[in-house]
Structure 1
């Protein structure tokens, strides 16, 4: 499914105030994971700035042991500190990578900002080598902008 076709679906999910924020985030994860063949795991982590940790709030895909990630560790932890998108074409080439599954070949992490502050991120793992493009970055930035509005 194209990114443009997914946008109204994301908007509809996030607008459903009858569900909790966590449930809506989980549904967004499920939508992306089932609609985009190379999005094998999709999750939202949120920052605890006092403890300098990220906490998994919602996801779709295989369960992970990485429900808390220290700032600076792995791709997610690096994004918590850099405030910048991080696209990894080949996770084996990263020396600060936390392996979630032996099948993961690539990862993209996009920070989520609320009122100018990095409060979390969307994290996508792929079993496909080098699948992510600038279009993925722009789409995921848009998703995070929509999510920030319900937080």
Structure 2
């Protein structure tokens, strides 16, 4: 599916008054997982700035042991510190990578900002080498801007 075609569906999920924030986040994870063939694990991590750690939020995909990630560790931890998107075409080539599954070949992490503060991130793993493009980055930035409206 064309990523632009998913934007109105994301907006619709965010605007549902009857659902909690976590339910909306889970629905977004499910939408992206189901509609983008190379999005094999989709989830959110949220920052605890006092403990300098990320905590797993809603996600869709294989179960993970990585429910708490220290700032600086792995791709997600690096994004918590850099406040910048991180696209990893081949996780095997990354020194500071936390392996979740041998099936994961690539990853994209995009920070979630609320009032200019990085409160978390969307994390996507793929079983395909190098599938992520600038279109994915821009789309996930759009998704996070919509989600920021919930906070």
Q: Which residue pairs with 2:144 in the alignment?
A: 144
User: Equivalent residue of 1:130, what SS?
Assistant: coil
Matches within 5 A, 1:1-151: 1-151=1-151
Question: What is the CA–CA distance in structure 1 between the aligned matches of 2:135 and 2:5, rounded to whole Å?
Answer: 14
Question: What is the CA–CA distance in structure 2 between the aligned matches of 1:57 and 1:126, rounded to whole Å?
Answer: 19
Question: What is the CA–CA distance in structure 1 between the aligned matches of 2:28 and 2:101, rounded to whole Å?
Answer: 22
Question: What is the CA–CA distance in structure 2 between the aligned matches of 1:69 and 1:104, rounded to whole Å?
Answer: 18
Question: What is the CA–CA distance in structure 2 between the aligned matches of 1:63 and 1:51, rounded to whole Å?
Answer: 24
The structural deviation recorded for 1:9 is: 0.6
What TM-score results when the alignment is normalised by the length of structure 1? 0.99
| Structure 1 ranges of 4+ moved more than 3 A | none
Number of corresponding residues: 151
Question: What is the CA–CA distance in structure 2 between the aligned matches of 1:40 and 1:16, rounded to whole Å?
Answer: 25
**Structure 2: unaligned runs, 5 residues or longer:** none
Question: What is the CA–CA distance in structure 2 between the aligned matches of 1:90 and 1:3, rounded to whole Å?
Answer: 22
What TM-score results when the alignment is normalised by the length of structure 2? 0.99
Question: What is the CA–CA distance in structure 2 between the aligned matches of 1:100 and 1:123, rounded to whole Å?
Answer: 12
- Alpha-carbon deviations, 1:91-119, whole Å to 9, x = none? 00001000011100000000000000111
**Structure 1: unaligned runs, 5 residues or longer:** none
User: Equivalent residue of 2:130, what SS?
Assistant: coil
